[in-house]
Amino acid sequence: MPLLKLVPDNTNIKFLRWRVPFYIVSMILIAASWGLILTKGLNYGVDFAGGQEIEATFTKQAEAPVAALREQVGKLGYGDPVIQRFGAPNEVSIRTKLPESAEGNPGAAEAISKKIIATIRASNPDVRIESVSTVSGKVSGEFRQTAIYALGLAMLAISIYIWIRFEWQFGVGALFALFHDVSLTLGMFALLQMEFSLQIIAAILAIIGYSLNDTIVVYDRIREDLKKFRKMPLPELLDMSVNETLARTVMTSATLLVALIPLLFFGPESLFGLTAAIVLGIFVGTYSSIYMAAPILIWLGVSGDSFVPTESAVERQERLARERSAKP
């Protein structure tokens, strides 16, 4: 049986011919993402916003009575509740702010959730309470802070690793590609107003890891080709490297997608956001490895000489010996 080929042999697609328009589009997308994040904001879940979140399933109704719930819970005087469907149409999460007096006061917080649950149950006897979460303002503030640290440190640490393994231009390129991926993912969450929780931070860190897989594979090939074809013009060489690794890039993205998409449709509702973020990240990350990480090397001035050692092994030994003896 002949084997399936996702990508034909010996492709020669001129990816980098369109690098300037693609860069402009990407810059606009990054700017738009940050514009959305700053103006519309992220829809913080209870982890980051603090407050109380009740997840409920209406076992005998096809659809959760969202409008009625909003009105009934809104009347209780804890501000406007945020009511969202997650997963099946009969499952909702109801988020309310905690009044100042209930911060860290278990009795008061407890009373509020009891009251909300009783209110829902009064008009919907079929309701099943799946979970109740209470996060104080202090803890949610810490979650926000550590999330920013974790994302920032991950991007930085990985870029430094790339810098050490390759050259500084590659480190900058990887950092930029990661910034692109993270920005677009955050932008998508701001646009769709999907709930932004700790799980999404986990998803973004996974995206950082896997988007970098692609970048590394392309960079590794660029380095190899740079050593082999030292006289080839850089755009041509980058195109060649990208084409050579294209079959692998497509195949890996395909295996990731076929593994994850069932999780989107059949998986637990509470993993929907996380999975959706990673699926989005796979597309964005694959694109960024080709169109963000590679062309930046042209502008940062990588050349065939970047990987040629400036001194031979013997010279290096001699220099080190000189340096040692120079020091008293």
Partner 1 sequence: MLEFPTWKKLWYWGLTLVVAAAALPSLFSVLGLPWPSALPNPQVSLGLDLAGGSHILLEANEKQVAQQRLENMEESVRARLKLAEPRIRIGDISSAGGRLSFMLKDSAQVDAAREQILPLTTGAGLTGQRDWDIAVEDGSRFILTPTREGLQQAVSNAMDSAIEVVRKRIDALGTREPTIIRQGENRIVVQVPGLDDPTALKNLLGQTAKLEFKLVDETAAPTDITQGIAPPGDEIVPWSDPNAPGSGGVPVLAVKRLGGIKGDQLTDAKQSFEQRNNSPVVSITFDQQGGAKFAKLTSENVNKRFAIILDGKVLSAPSINEPIMGGSAQISGSFTVQSATQLAIALRSGALPVDLTVVEERTVGPDLGADSIKKGLIAMGVGSGLVVLLMIAVYGRFGIYATIALIFNLMMILGVMAVMGTTLTLPGLAGFVLTIGAAVDANVLIYERMREERKKGRRVVAAVENGYKEASRAIYDANITNFIAGVLLFAFGSGPVRGFAVVLIIGLFTSVFTGVTLTRMWVADWLRKARPTELNV
Q: Which of residues 9-38 bind partner 1 (CB under 8 A)?
A: 9
Minimum CB distance to partner 1 smaller for 36 or for 200? 200
Q: What is the DSSP string of 107-137?
A: HHHHHHHHHHHHHHHHH-TTEEEEEEEEE-H
CA 246, 282, 295, 225 torsion-angle sign: negative
Q: Which of residues 46-65 bind partner 1 (CB under 8 A)?
A: 55
Q: Which of residues 117-136 bind partner 1 (CB under 8 A)?
A: 128-136
Nearest approach in angstroms of CB 227 to partner 1 is 13
For helices 168-192 and 272-288, give the axis angle rounded to 10 degrees: 140
Site map for partner 1, 255-294, x if CB under 8 A?
Answer: xxxxxxxxx-xxxx-xx--xx--x----------------
Q: Which stretch binds partner 1 (CB under 8 A): 37-45, 61-69, 103-111, 297-305?
A: 103-111
CA-nearest of 133, 120, 138, 2 to 61 is: 120
Q: Which of residues 214-253 bind partner 1 (CB under 8 A)?
A: 216-217, 220-221, 224, 244-245, 247-248, 251-252
Q: Which stretch binds partner 1 (CB under 8 A): 159-167, 184-192, 291-299, 302-310?
A: 159-167
Q: Does 66 bind partner 1 (CB under 8 A)?
A: no
CA-nearest of 295, 302, 218, 299 to 19 is: 295
Among 149, 228, 299, 315, contact with partner 1 (rule: CB under 8 A): 149
The position carrying tokens 């956001």 is 273
Collapsing DSSP states into helix, strand and coil, what is residue 151? helix
In terms of DSSP bridges, do strands 127-135 and 91-96 run parallel, antiparallel, or are they unpaired?
unpaired
Q: Which stretch binds partner 1 (CB under 8 A): 23-31, 107-115, 294-302, 312-320?
A: 107-115
